[in-house]
């Protein structure tokens, strides 16, 4: 018969308890955010870190599941209040880009907005009045569908390559470190690195957004040894492989943009017309789920245009949403879904202390 030393049973019991505690505590420790994954987050801000823990836990929990994460662009990943003193205010990225191309047309290798160069020689006035209209800066109230169609039409006669060249010069002229929400880009990168399918669903033009993403990947470091690499689009944008649903025009056989709206992402069974905004974003999400067989369980947005998208995910018990600098109708959802919506403040998304740049920008104060 095997003999035990006195106290052995008690010692074994304690050892088993330690092993048990260790077993249950390991997943919790493993899901703690790592600075290497979120280099632009302020880990010393207790409120921000608490929110980041929820975000990271969601990613870790879903990285082996058939889920999709969707992000809005303007105001969620990209700053949407660019100053245009000559126009008397601030404009989102795409209209600001249009106005920049207008003012700097002589520096470009192509003619911007060729369909706006009218016989009365009021090219500049045409673009300015057009931009004011689509941004609701005139006495004419803007409406969803025609406004987004018109927003696309201004690029008729141009090519995707024109947009790439214009975006490159436009961003080179800006203090770009103030244009991107780097903490949100970190979250996007973490989703991608975790193998979760990611889409950007935006009211902007997907060719425009793809060109900006390429610029980020070429010029900004995610960490000390790698650049951002979202792997969600090529530039020029290719709908066969890209993961950006936006508002653009169909291409002509010669590669230029036509004057026909491209509804590839918002086609609905009932035959109604939609654009990628508000209810249209929900149409995009349902189409994605039907095509992939996956479920969308994460969404990030900032305004009323994202209401349907955020509401769709937030009402799911297993879902999670991020509301960035929340404004407009979207604020109505915050008290309704406190357990599935995380609100990020300006200070939390604009944290710049850890921003890294490639050697190409090391001598600039962007």
Q: State mean pLDDT over 243-257.
A: 96
What angle is formed at CA 223 by the lines to CA 219 and CA 226, rounded to 5 degrees? Answer: 60
- Integer-rounded Cα radius of gyration of the chain: 24
What whole-number distance in Å separates Cα of residue 261 and Cα of residue 155? 11
The 220-223 sheet, strands edge to edge: 226-227, 220-223, 356-357
Answer yes or no: is pLDDT of 357 > 60. Answer: no
SS3 of 215-246: the string is HHHHHEEEECCEECCCCCCCCCCCCCCCCEEC
Per-residue confidence (pLDDT) for residue 117, from 0 to 100: 85
Residues 244, 202: contact at Cβ < 8 Å? yes
Answer yes or no: is pLDDT of 314 > 70. Answer: yes
Per-residue confidence (pLDDT) for residue 366, from 0 to 100: 35
Q: Who has greater pLDDT, 200 or 86?
A: 200
Coil vs helix vs strand at 137: coil
Answer yes or no: is pLDDT of 149 > 90. Answer: no
Answer yes or no: is pLDDT of 359 > 50. Answer: no
**Which residues lie closer than 8 Å to 12 by C-beta, 6 or more apart?**
none
Lowest-pLDDT range of 25-34, 94-103, 190-199, 312-321:
25-34
What whole-number distance in Å separates Cα of residue 181 and Cα of residue 324? 10
What whole-number distance in Å separates Cα of residue 231 and Cα of residue 125? 39
Q: How far is CA 78 from the centre of its chain?
A: 7
Q: State mean pLDDT over 192-209.
A: 96
Write the CA distances from 39 to 47, 353, 354, integer angstroms: 17, 9, 6
Answer yes or no: is pLDDT of 340 > 50. Answer: yes
CB atoms within 10 A of CB 46: 9
What whole-number distance in Å separates Cα of residue 90 and Cα of residue 208? 19
Q: State mean pLDDT over 235-243.
A: 96
Per-residue confidence at 145, pLDDT binned at 50, 70, 90? Answer: low
Q: Who has greater pLDDT, 285 or 115?
A: 285
Answer yes or no: is pLDDT of 249 > 90. Answer: yes
CB atoms within 10 A of CB 332: 12
Q: Which residue in this structure is represented by tokens 């020029």? A: 236
What whole-number distance in Å separates Cα of residue 310 and Cα of residue 115? 37
Q: Which residue in this structure is represented by tokens 């600039």? A: 364
Answer yes or no: is pLDDT of 268 > 60. Answer: yes
Lowest-pLDDT range of 12-16, 70-74, 187-191, 270-274:
12-16
Per-residue confidence (pLDDT) for residue 363, from 0 to 100: 38
Both tokens of residue 85? 């003193």
What whole-number distance in Å separates Cα of residue 152 and Cα of residue 274? 14
Answer yes or no: is pLDDT of 261 > 90. Answer: yes
Q: State mean pLDDT over 22-48.
A: 77
b/e code 308-325 from CB counts within 10 Å (16+ = b): bbbbbbbebeebbbbbbb
Per-residue confidence at 29, pLDDT binned at 50, 70, 90? Answer: very low
Q: What percentage of the chain has pLDDT greater than the value 70?
A: 81
Question: In the chain, how long is the greatest CA-to-CA distance?
Answer: 109
Domains in the chain, start-ordered, CATH in brackets? 38-79+179-361 (3.40.50.1000), 91-165 (no CATH)
Coil vs helix vs strand at 69: strand
Q: State mean pLDDT over 115-141.
A: 76
Mean pLDDT for the chain? 86
Per-residue confidence at 361, pLDDT binned at 50, 70, 90? Answer: very low
Per-residue confidence at 352, pLDDT binned at 50, 70, 90? Answer: low
User: How many residues are there in the chain?
Assistant: 366
Sign of CA dihedral 258, 259, 265, 270: negative
Both tokens of residue 279? 């209810």
Lowest-pLDDT range of 3-12, 39-48, 143-152, 345-354:
3-12
Q: State mean pLDDT over 345-357.
A: 71
Per-residue confidence at 91, pLDDT binned at 50, 70, 90? Answer: low
Per-residue confidence (pLDDT) for residue 27, from 0 to 100: 44
């Amino acid at each position: 018969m095997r003999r035990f030393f006195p106290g052995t049973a008690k010692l074994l019991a304690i050892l088993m308890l330690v092993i048990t505690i260790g077993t249950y505590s390991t997943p919790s420790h493993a899901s703690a955010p790592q600075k290497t994954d979120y280099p632009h987050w302020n880990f010393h801000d207790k409120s921000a870190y608490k929110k980041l823990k929820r975000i990271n836990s969601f990613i870790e929990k879903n990285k082996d599941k058939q889920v999709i994460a969707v992000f809005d662009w303007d105001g969620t990943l990209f700053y949407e209040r660019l100053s245009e003193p000559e126009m008397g205010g601030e404009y989102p990225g795409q209209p600001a880009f249009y106005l920049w191309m207008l003012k700097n047309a002589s520096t470009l290798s192509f003619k911007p907005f060729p369909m706006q160069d009218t016989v009365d020689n009021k090219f500049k006035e045409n673009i300015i009045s057009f931009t004011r209209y689509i941004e609701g800066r005139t006495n004419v109230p803007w409406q969803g569908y025609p406004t987004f169609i018109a927003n696309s039409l201004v690029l008729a006669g141009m090519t995707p390559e024109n947009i790439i060249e214009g975006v490159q010069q436009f961003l080179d002229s800006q203090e770009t470190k103030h244009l991107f929400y780097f903490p949100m880009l970190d979250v996007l990168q973490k989703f991608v690195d975790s193998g979760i399918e990611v889409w950007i669903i935006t009211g902007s033009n997907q060719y425009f957004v793809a060109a900006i993403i390429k610029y980020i990947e070429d010029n900004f470091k995610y960490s000390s040894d790698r650049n951002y690499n979202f792997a969600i689009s090529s530039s020029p944008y290719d709908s066969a492989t890209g993961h950006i649903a936006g508002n653009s025009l169909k291409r002509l056989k010669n590669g230029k943009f036509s004057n026909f709206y491209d509804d590839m992402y918002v086609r609905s069974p009932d035959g109604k017309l939609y654009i990628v905004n508000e209810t249209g974003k929900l149409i995009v999400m349902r189409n994605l789920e039907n095509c992939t067989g996956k479920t969308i369980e994460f969404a990030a947005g900032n305004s009323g245009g994202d209401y349907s998208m955020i509401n769709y995910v937030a009402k799911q018990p297993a879902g999670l949403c991020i509301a960035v600098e929340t404004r407009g109708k979207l604020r109505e959802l915050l008290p309704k879904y406190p357990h599935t919506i995380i609100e990020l403040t300006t200070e939390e998304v604009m944290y710049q202390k850890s921003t890294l740049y490639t050697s190409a920008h090391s001598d600039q104060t962007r």
